[in-house]
Structure 1
Amino acid sequence: MTEPLIELKGISKSFGNNVILDNVDLTIERGDSLGIIGPSGTGKSTILRIIAGLLAPDAGEIYIQGQLRQGLIEDAEDPIFIGMVFQQAALFDSLTVEENVGFLLLQHSTLSRREIKQLAEEKLAMVGLGKIGDRYPAELSGGMRKRVSFARAIMSNPQNPRYTPEVLLYDEPTAGLDPIASTVIEDLVRDLQRAEGGCSTYLMVTHQDSTIRRTTDKVVFLYQGKVQWQGKISDIDATENPLVRQFFSASVDGPIQVIG
């Protein structure tokens, strides 16, 4: 058997007296489209930041393609490249769209500006945003900014195959979007999974029912710092787990404590 791309073992994380993750195990195999779901404040985004190497756990081990990670991503390179799409797009306001998408290459390659421009245009075309490279983020709608962040996340460096994303981490990519814009983003996630030059493996953090059902094949339900349930999308409507049933019914009655 091949090693999982990513494996978390006994991961715990607290902020002050607030326990966010409590001895969490998680395995991501190549080709997975895994949803991480649960109520607000249950550690979903925290898991993504730990996987990305942006945040260190208090306890536990992280294996990237079988290799134990030591420290944060800035301390040592992982054996695979992990890209992240942030909830608020996290674009640089002072850079054009093209410069945002090509930022990795501007910082870590000797490619010419012309070459980077061409590669950025190719990625923008993949997310349906041709000929906007000279615009600034402030000139774009929320949905367009999200798609620019997708293009940036899948940017690869032809001079160094190591900088080709093998895993994408999506942190609520449809948050704040209207239903039609959300559908565009959901379709794009699946398109990028199948496309040459896209990324076949990803984790999706989201609260939105449509996004969960249309972009993931299996889900992990987090609550009170622990994995409370996991299964295939087809299992959601059949499970008797009271947490999952309450979450998807949007009921205020049930074991999930409603914060007033």
Structure 2
Amino acid sequence: MTEPLIELRGVSKSFGSNKVLDRVDLTIHQGEALGIIGPSGTGKSTILRVIAGLLAVDEGEIYVRGVRRTGLIEDAADSVGIGMVFQQAALFDSLTVEENVGFLLYQNSKIARSRIRQLVNTKLEMVGLPGIGELYPSELSGGMRKRVSFARAIMSNPESDQQGPELLLYDEPTAGLDPIASTVIEDLIRHLQCSQGVCSTYAIVTHQDSTIRRTADRVIFLYQGRVQWQGTVDEIDSTDHPLIRQFMSGSVHGPIQVVG
């Protein structure tokens, strides 16, 4: 097995008295599509923020290509570029689509605006949204806003030695979408993985059955702050693990405690 892009060793994180992650071990390898599933409030989004370097851990170690990370993303540049797609798209309402997608370059480069506009148009075409750069987020559907956030996540600085992210993190990318819009997003996630010059590795947090099955190859199941099960997508249907059986069936009866 090759060295992981990302490795979490014994990572713990608490918010007040609530221990969200409890000595979690996790690896993400080059070219992998990792699904992170489990009941609400079990630390799935927290793991993404830890991997992205947006959140400090209380205990444990994080390794990026075998090198231990110290501090957060702003403290030192990782050897692996990481892009993140947030659950609610997290676009700036006062900026146009072009300004949202090109935000990194407009703020942190000396590239001419005309060149940035070309780069933005290329990314928008990749997510199936050509010619919408002058629109504002309020003029887009939910599915379109998600795709714009994808374009922003894969944007790279051509003046940098690092050509785009090597790892994409998706936090509930199909949440709140109808089944057809969800299928469009699921197809896009796989399309970006296979596209030349775009990130081939990702981790995705989701509750949606179709998204789990259509976007993930390997799955880990989080519950009570720990990885309780992991396996391939095909093994979801064959395992007798009681947590998986209850979660995938949506039953209120079983070892998963139903709040309220």
User: What TM-score do you get using the length of structure 2 for normalisation?
Assistant: 0.99
Aligned to 2:34: 34
User: Residue type matched to 1:81 in 2?
Assistant: G
Q: Please give the root-mean-square deviation of Cα atoms over the aligned residues, in Å.
A: 0.8
- 2:158 pairs with 1:177: no
Distance 2:197 2:106 in 1: 19
Indicate conservation of the 8 Å contact 1:101/1:152, yes or no.
yes
Distance 2:164 2:94 in 1: 26
Distance 2:258 2:174 in 1: 23
Q: Give the C-alpha shift of residue 20 in structure 1.
A: 0.4
Instruction: Encode CA deviations 1:64-120: one digit per residue, 9 max, x unaligned.
Output: 111111111011111111000000000011111011111111122211000000000
- 2:119 pairs with 1:137: no
Distance 1:149 1:127 in 2: 10
User: 1:1-260 to 2 correspondence within 5 Å?
Assistant: 2-162=2-162, 164-260=164-260
User: Residue type matched to 1:110 in 2?
Assistant: K
Distance 2:133 2:126 in 1: 13
Distance 1:51 1:130 in 2: 31
Indicate conservation of the 8 Å contact 1:154/1:197, yes or no.
no
Structure 1: segments with no counterpart, 5+ residues: none
Task: Report the secondary structure of 2:138's partner residue.
Answer: helix
Q: Give the C-alpha shift of residue 3 in structure 1.
A: 2.1
Structure 2: segments with no counterpart, 5+ residues: none
Distance 2:78 2:163 in 1: 10
Q: Give the C-alpha shift of residue 197 in structure 1.
A: 2.7
Give the 4+ runs in structure 1 shifted more than 2 A: none
Distance 1:117 1:111 in 2: 10
Q: Give the C-alpha shift of residue 179 in structure 1.
A: 0.4
Distance 1:164 1:40 in 2: 31
User: Residue type matched to 1:117 in 2?
Assistant: R
Distance 2:141 2:6 in 1: 34
Distance 1:104 1:33 in 2: 26
User: Residue type matched to 1:57 in 2?
Assistant: V
Identity score, percent: 73
Distance 1:16 1:117 in 2: 44
Task: Report the secondary structure of 1:237's partner residue.
Answer: helix
Distance 1:78 1:93 in 2: 30
- The count of residues paired between Structure 1 and Structure 2 equals 260
Distance 1:107 1:60 in 2: 34
Distance 2:145 2:227 in 1: 32
Indicate conservation of the 8 Å contact 2:6/2:63, yes or no.
yes
